[in-house]
Structure 1
Amino acid sequence: MNTMLRTIVISVLFSFHLVAIAQEQKLYLFITADSLKQGVKDQDGHFVIPADHPTVGYWSDGELIAESILDFYGMPAHQAFDFDSLQAAYTANTTYDRQGKILYHPFFFDNGADYIREGARRFVDVNTKKMGLVHPYGKILIPARYDFVEPLESGYVRVYNGVKRKVEAGGEHWSIVPDPLKKYETFVLNKDGEKVVGKVADAADTPVELWRDSLHYPSYYTVTNKKEQKLLARIQQDPHVQKIFMGEGAPYCILERPTSGFPYYVIGQVKQFTPDYILVDQEGQLYHFDYYKPKMPLKAYLALNKGLE
């Protein structure tokens, strides 16, 4: 493909991607005159998110914001998080929807908001200082009732109560340890918040072995529906999908099923901090998806980001 034709094709594909953005109310980042605070205004200049947040992030003043959810550093003016250096749960971020509604406060991890993993992320209740698990768009999956929650893994999380933060030498890294002044407990929950007890020995019905756990658990993402089994097999073999996931080796799983408000299968990989997901619509069309931005036809995404074959 010559350079001019390639440029035209990419431009058309990118324009297709922007249709979803154009159909919504346009949002723009706003930075105060002293460059210390930032917020979001709509196309008419009205504040959607007040300029309460420090100017930390990857947007620039006046930039069009395409994201479906917006992670900002810091708390809004009417909220505060009184952090005790011994507590494990900590947040320094606020997640909004495009209407300016506060969805939740993601757990502070790896110098930022917690990653989305298997279609979920950890969050902190700023009042109780407890942790739970939330869908990226705000639906609470596991209420914030725990001192600490490990990342979601194969549909399961290990939760802890009666623990505190222990900062390692140098101050950069930390771990959780039992708090001698509290009752210590730990157990495993599935993504639905149900307590699950693992088995000591591996067995056909307990194929999942969790990180930091020698016990085995049932496969949370098991598919028995033949139509869905064929769908996963197709995804597994699709060469375009393989380019997205780069052959990591982790199995493909159905993380979400179609609903009236979101008529797509969400397919991803377990045990991965990958931002990449595949959407499948009712006609079987494939899209790239990352929960933050509008879906994009898979081939168009590859053309823009991986190069046309």
Structure 2
Amino acid sequence: MKNRLFSSFILMTIFLLPVLLRAQGQLYYFMDPKDSLIGVKDNKGKVIIPPLGNPIYEPQDLNEPITDSLIFIGDFINDYTGAAGSFGSMYDRNGIFLYRPLAYDAGPDYFEEGLARCMQKGKVGFVNEQGKVAIRPQWDWVSPFNYGYAFACNGCYWDRSKDAEHPPLAYKENAKTFYINREGKSVQLMKQRKTEKDLPVDGGFLPYAFKYTMEERKILEEIGAMEVVSKIWNANQATKAAGKEARLQFEIVGRPSALSPYYKIQGYRYGRFDKEDPFLFYRTLTGDYFQVGWDGKDKTPFTQWLKEQLESCAQYFKDHPDAPNKFDVGRYLDKL
């Protein structure tokens, strides 16, 4: 009964969200002609976020409405330590400041497994997709989440004396390192594996991090049964794939909410549990699938993505007739 009520709530939210956004008014970036800084205003000209942003970090097309629930402004407020740095600020659509994102790849850190890194007073933590702090900033450096865990350290820094462009992470004398779970708690490595899905790191193992309801297990069984997805993944591998290592392992890394009506399902390389970015899928409550780009914005209907991938495999097999993981592409194309 609870699941039905929750599903009904989410479906109602899906239909009402566009109405709510229209009622709220469309938002646009604008440039102040006096100082060329970027701000945000609504379609009636009301300033929602004053001009604070550096034009280098903002969209160039000021005529396109902002569709994101979180709005980045590349202002000149910095938060920097030897290991991590931030620039810019993240706001909600009402212009309320939420957090300072960690600077990553010349922009604000993006979401991995539903969490993105933020900074406060030189320390790094995480926010959820609503922009609320999910894990308090408390480390000098933290990696993005992968397979339910992140690597964190205090007393660490980037040693730019060894490589100015791509410095290695170095450690002070009393530095401490941790593996943390999604609650921000450090987790001790196990000496031996308890299940085949435990994560191997640093000569030990972290326990399998995911827990599911019966309904969610059925969803994973559903996508796991799509053997063609793993065949596509193996198509251009240099060695023959066999056994469990030939199949992607899928885990649910995000659940439907008021802001996102999807289950987010990530494919991992079995045994090593490396995240395979092209194999991130969104599933609606009604069972429709989409393949999603790394930024979570470009959603391709599953059938369209599958057709494109199969055609790409067919061309690859034509160019590489000795490909060790060649399969009958036509068999799957005929079913589309």
What TM-score comes out, normalization by structure 2 length?
0.68
2:131 maps to a residue whose letter is G
Within 5 Å, which residues of 2 pair with 1:1-309?
22=22, 24-33=24-33, 36-56=36-56, 57-75=58-76, 80-81=77-78, 83-84=80-81, 87-125=82-120, 128-169=121-162, 171-180=164-173, 183-204=174-195, 207-210=198-201, 213-223=202-212, 225-238=213-226, 242=229, 247=233, 250-259=248-257, 264-270=262-268, 271-272=274-275, 274=277, 277-287=280-290, 298=301, 302=305
1:142 Cα deviation from its structure 2 partner: 1.7
Per-residue deviation, residues 57-112 of structure 1 (Å, max 9, x unmatched): 3342232222222233234xxxx33535xx21211132222222222222112222
- Tell me if structure 1 keeps the 8 A contact 2:26–2:65: yes
CA separation of 1:60 and 1:90: change in aligned 2, threshold 3 A = same
Per-residue deviation, residues 208-248 of structure 1 (Å, max 9, x unmatched): 124xx33211111244x4332221121234589x49x9638
2:45 maps to a residue whose letter is G
Secondary structure at 2:80 match in 1: coil
CA–CA distance in structure 2, aligned partners of residues 109 and 278 of structure 1? 24
2:70 maps to a residue whose letter is I
Per-residue deviation, residues 106-139 of structure 1 (Å, max 9, x unmatched): 21122222232112121111xx210012213213
CA–CA distance in structure 1, aligned partners of residues 250 and 113 of structure 2? 11
More helix per residue: 2
1:155 Cα deviation from its structure 2 partner: 0.5
Gaps of 5+ in 1: 1-15
CA separation of 1:206 and 1:64: change in aligned 2, threshold 3 A = closer
CA–CA distance in structure 2, aligned partners of residues 236 and 131 of structure 1? 35
Secondary structure at 1:91 match in 2: strand
Which structure has the larger Rg over C-alpha atoms?
2
Bigger relative contact order, structure 1 or 2, given CA contacts below 8 A and separation 6+? 1
- Tell me if structure 2 keeps the 8 A contact 1:136–1:291: no
CA separation of 1:170 and 1:148: change in aligned 2, threshold 3 A = closer
1:61 maps to a residue whose letter is L
CA–CA distance in structure 2, aligned partners of residues 37 and 91 of structure 1? 19
Secondary structure at 1:184 match in 2: strand
Per-residue deviation, residues 43-65 of structure 1 (Å, max 9, x unmatched): 11011121101002334223222
Secondary structure at 1:247 match in 2: helix
Q: How many residues align?
A: 277
CA–CA distance in structure 2, aligned partners of residues 291 and 49 of structure 1? 27
CA–CA distance in structure 1, aligned partners of residues 249 and 227 of structure 2? 15
CA–CA distance in structure 2, aligned partners of residues 300 and 68 of structure 1? 28
CA separation of 1:63 and 1:221: change in aligned 2, threshold 3 A = same
